[in-house]
Amino acid sequence: MPGFFRTLSRDLRAPLHRKRAFELLNQLHSENLPLEGVVERAIKLGTKGWYRVRSLQVLSEITALAREVAALKPKVILEIGTARGGTSLIWAHLAEKKLVTCDLLDKKGFADLVRAFPPPGSKCDVSVVIGDSHSPEFLERVRKELDGEPVDFLFIDGDHTEAGVRQDYEFYSPLVRPGGLIAFHDIVDDQPLPTNQVQHFWKKLIPGKDIKEFIDSRDQCGFGIGVLRVPETA
């Protein structure tokens, strides 16, 4: 029953939360923050209910990744795992042309807020694709949204089982251009949940690859970001 009442409360307050969410987003846009400021705000924007924007990231790690992505000057970014949209907010400030962000669940109007993430003057178009990223039909929907454009940066932060992250990598890594980046979240060995298994796939993937790891502390539980650069063509 607590879950029922929580959902009911969110539904009843949704119009107010929606209005406040767009106000806070407009405030963020008006401040013209540097990248580091946008990243810090994306960790927890201050919105509530169905429109709550946040990201379960270590600030130093996601800031380092954002700088790495910014250096690419990406036109197209693909994200597997929108969750509460915090990282989507960052990518929407970096993608020059297109952000495609994918999630399993439709969060009652949250997509409207995500589509408004690009700052004023940006030419970035945001597509929110809802469904199972492991489905071939879903892959085709993503391809359609990309419309033949190569992906500059792929962020994989969806299904954290080893089989799940492998499937996402096998499906979506071929969409990334030579010289582009692919990043994975939660790569440290010590994880809080047995279903967090990204680290196992990461260890098998990286031998012989051009990689970087952003880990705040080797003693931490959870988190850690691994980045792989796709080889340039000969």
Does a structural domain hold residue 22?
no
Does a structural domain hold residue 42?
no
DSSP, res 231: P
pLDDT at 2: 57
Query: How many domains does one find in the chain?
Result: 1
Does a structural domain hold residue 21?
no
225's enclosing H/E stretch is strand 225-229
Does a structural domain hold residue 18?
no
Q: List the end-to-end C-alpha distance of the chain, in Å, as a whole number.
A: 60
pLDDT at 63: 99
pLDDT at 198: 97
Structural domain for 159, as ranges: 55-229
Q: Which residues of the chain have a pLDDT value below 70? A: 1-3, 5, 234
pLDDT at 101: 99
DSSP, res 161: S
Does a structural domain hold residue 168?
yes
Give phi and psi for 215, each to the nearest 5: -130, 120
pTM: 0.95
Q: What is the identity of the amino acid at 87?
A: T
CATH code of residue 59: 3.40.50.150
* 189 burial via Cβ count (<10 Å: 0-12, 13-18, 19+): exposed
Q: How far is CA 10 from the centre of its chain?
A: 24
